[in-house]
Chains A and B, each alone.
Chain A
Amino acid sequence: MSETTPAMPVTATAAVGSPPPPLAPETKPGYVEKPASLWSDAWYDLRRRPLFIMSSILIAVLVVMALFPSLFTSINPMDATTCQLSTARQPPSAAHWFGKDNLGCDVYARTIYGARISIIVGITTTIVTAMVGGLLGLIAGFAGGATDSVMSRVTEIFFAIPSILGALLILAVFRTGNVWTVMLALAVLAWPMTFRIMRAAVITAKSQDYVVAARALGAGSGRLMFRHILPNAVTPVIVVATINLGMFISAEAALSFLGVGIQSPDISWGVMISDARPRFLEAAGPLLFPAAFLSVTVLAFIMLGDAVRDALDPKLR
């Protein structure tokens, strides 16, 4: 009876040679069996990781900052009257923690208000690429054959475009850089990565025995794809998505810095870095503070991605 595990004393030892043994299910009144899925195991594991705790606290603060910037500063930098040209490039002081920029605006308030666009661009682009790339990858991996070949070749065309160059091109077509066009440009160039990861994961999951068993039961393509294959193939996509989120935020900053992304008077960290660049040697603060926020945000999302990957991979647990 080597099957017996401490958790289940009753079932394992059932002797099945002769007529069915009367099974007395172990029912303690009020005892409710708790389902433990891989997800709840992963959650249990995550809560104990310092990496996860640190990155989630950082991300929570950043999200609150993006939603309610007025909680962090009383100055509204969108209001031009708060800027005084005469105080341009003032060093940090008690009233203006991060000092003032080239136009005499408060750098701290602008950095806080800049979080919104960075976070919106990061999260929206991540969701769109994960959905589009994930769905197409699921279809290509499941269908295989000619469908897969055609879809994969089309994806490779997108892969061939250098990403910053491609984004410059797309934004040049639109002529105006705003949140929407930046997100579109990033999403168009980023979905092929998700597609490839999803396709590979689906091809692995497709040949698993439990998928064969479901086919033997007569399950249709929809059930096989969404009930059996997708839940078992989605993990790498989630992990890559969290890592990509940080990359999108820095890509938005890069595009804004190059002058094709978000345009003043909209505030994003990229715009601030770009604006501060010409006078960097005279006043480093207006460039360094938003750059530090940018780095910490990207780092927080990448750390979160790392923690999620480790928690979802039972072999690393």
Chain B
Amino acid sequence: MAATSEPILEVRDLVKHFALTQGILVRRQIGAIKAVDGVSFDLRPGETLGIVGESGCGKSTLAKLLMALERPTSGSVKINGRDMAKARGRELKSMRRNVQMVMQDPYTSLNPRMTVGDIIGEPYEIHPEVAPKGMRRRKVQDLLELVGLNPDHINRYPHQFSGGQRQRIGIARGLALQPQIIICDEPVSALDVSIQAQVINLLERLQNELNLAYIFIAHDLSVVRHISDRVAVMYLGKLVELGGDVEIYDRPSHPYTQALLSAVPVPNPDGRERRERIILQGDPPSPANPPTGCRFRTRCWKAQDICAEQEPPLEVRPATDHRVACHFAEVHDVVQAH
């Protein structure tokens, strides 16, 4: 699926710091939460980039930045060569047609006072140039059918649907403007496992039919592996490893990735016996005051003096075949159960 064509999304040195202020009358900045701190990657048409990392590593902030729901402190988000991070007003509105999102919680992401038809039809009201008024109802019904819902349910309200069906409604809303990129921020983590598979399969089918590119943010590593062409691993606001799904899952090179993968539950008892468990010590440091040099060094078993002094750039290292941000990167297959 990974096409070699021009990237449709280019993210360069994206930074988002949230100011920490103190004082009641005179507010002064006493620091900043470095939620996203220098992230760069490309996304090609029809490709899926999975982003994994533990809670608080900046995944959701990254999604908000890509949707222009937050303004970056610095850096650029280029869609088809135009910088969305700097666009305003009418230009930004037209660029939003290209990027849409599927939200995490299907119970809060649909307005409870609107019918399904109004929810999915709203994109056409905001962007009337996409569909003439007379065709909108038909289009909404087509979308319902596309995501596997009954088109006759157009007048129902969200609370009359189950979680999986609601998530399909959210997906239909995201598809209404025919975007090239869909950002999925934990789209299945609020669903039952049986429904997760249905929604993931729906997303894959839509990708094939509509040539969509996905940014798929999740903390469930097996779901990410299933759907992604490439995977980025995030730790404390930075990408620590970026590569194809096979490269990341079978030849992880960053100690953090190895530790993450070693925590994935293995269903096969045989593999469970042979696999190695890497237990990380301590908690992730505060993003308001990250460690010098490599951010992972405080919990890394390979840490040396150089890790505190120099920050390892994200690049292809001699011992690996993909980009890793570690001075001592080496392939180490944690999960040998194949």
- Which chain A residues have a beta carbon within 8 Å of chain B's beta carbons? 1-3, 5, 7-8, 10-12, 14-21, 23, 25-27, 33-38, 208-210, 212-220, 223, 227-228, 231-232
Bits for B152-186, please: 1 = Cβ < 8 Å to A, else 0.
Answer: 11011101111111000010010001000000000
A210 touches B109 (CB 8 A): yes
- A315 to B59 alpha-carbon distance, docked (Å): 33
Q: Given contacts A217-B123, A232-B112, are A3 and B93 in contact (CB under 8 A)?
A: no
What chain B residues lie within 8 Å of A5 (beta carbons)?
162
A209 to B108, Cβ gap below 8 A? yes
Give bound CA distance, A3 to B191, whole Å.
Answer: 11
Q: In the complex, are the beta carbons of A35 and B157 less than 8 A apart?
A: yes
1/0 per residue, CB under 8 A from A, across B133-151: the answer is 0000000000001101111
Q: A residues within 8 A CB of B163?
A: 3
With contacts A11-B150, A23-B150, A231-B113 taken as known, whether A2 is within 8 angstroms of B195 at the C-beta atoms is: yes
Please tell me if the beta carbons of A38 and B112 are within 8 angstroms of each other in the complex: yes
Tell whether, in the assembled complex, residue B122 and residue A16 are in contact, meaning their CB atoms are under 8 Å apart: no
Are B92 and A17 neighbours in the complex by a CB distance under 8 Å? no
| B: contact size bracket | 35 or more
CB–CB A209/B109 < 8 A: yes
Q: Are B205 and A212 in contact (CB under 8 A)?
A: no
CB pair A33–B108 under 8 Å, yes or no, is no
Given the known interface contacts A209-B108, A216-B96, the answer about A21 and B113 at a Cβ–Cβ threshold of 8 Å is no
Given contacts A5-B162, A37-B157, contact A20 B100 (CB under 8 A): no
Q: Are A209 and B105 in contact (CB under 8 A)?
A: yes
Say yes or no: is B111 at the interface (Cβ < 8 Å to chain A): yes
| B interface residues (Cβ-Cβ under 8 A, vs A) | 67, 69, 92-93, 96-97, 100-101, 103-105, 108-115, 122-123, 125-127, 145-146, 148-153, 155-157, 159-165, 170, 173, 177, 192, 194-195, 198, 201-202, 205
In contact, B165 and A3 (Cβ under 8 angstroms): yes
| Inter-chain contact B126/A35, CB cutoff 8 Å | no
- Whole-angstrom CA separation of A217 from B119 in the bound complex: 11
Chain B residues positioned under 8 Å from A2 (CB to CB) = 192, 194-195
Q: Is the CB of A218 within 8 A of B93?
A: yes
Question: Nearest-CB distance from B298 to chain A (Å)?
Answer: 33
Q: Is the CB of B164 within 8 A of A12?
A: yes
Known: A3-B165, A27-B152. A35 touches B115 (CB 8 A): yes
Question: B148 contacts A16, CB within 8 Å?
Answer: yes
Q: Which residues of A contact B150 (CB under 8 A)?
A: 8, 10-11, 23, 25-26
Q: Which residue of A lies closest to B68 (CB)?
A: A216
Please give, as numbers and ranges, the residues of chain A lying within 8 Å of B112 by CB-CB distance.
Answer: 38, 210, 232
Partner among A1, A11, A209 whose Cβ is within 8 Å of the Cβ of B153 = A11
Q: Are A217 and B69 in contact (CB under 8 A)?
A: no
Note all chain B residues with C-beta closer than 8 A to A1. Answer: 194
Q: Which residue of A lies closest to B118 (CB)?
A: A227
Q: Is the CB of B156 within 8 A of A33?
A: yes
Say yes or no: A11 contacts B165, CB within 8 Å: yes
Task: Please report the C-alpha to C-alpha distance between residue A209 and residue B105 in the assembled complex, in whole angstroms.
Answer: 8
* B116 vs chain A, min Cβ distance (A): 10
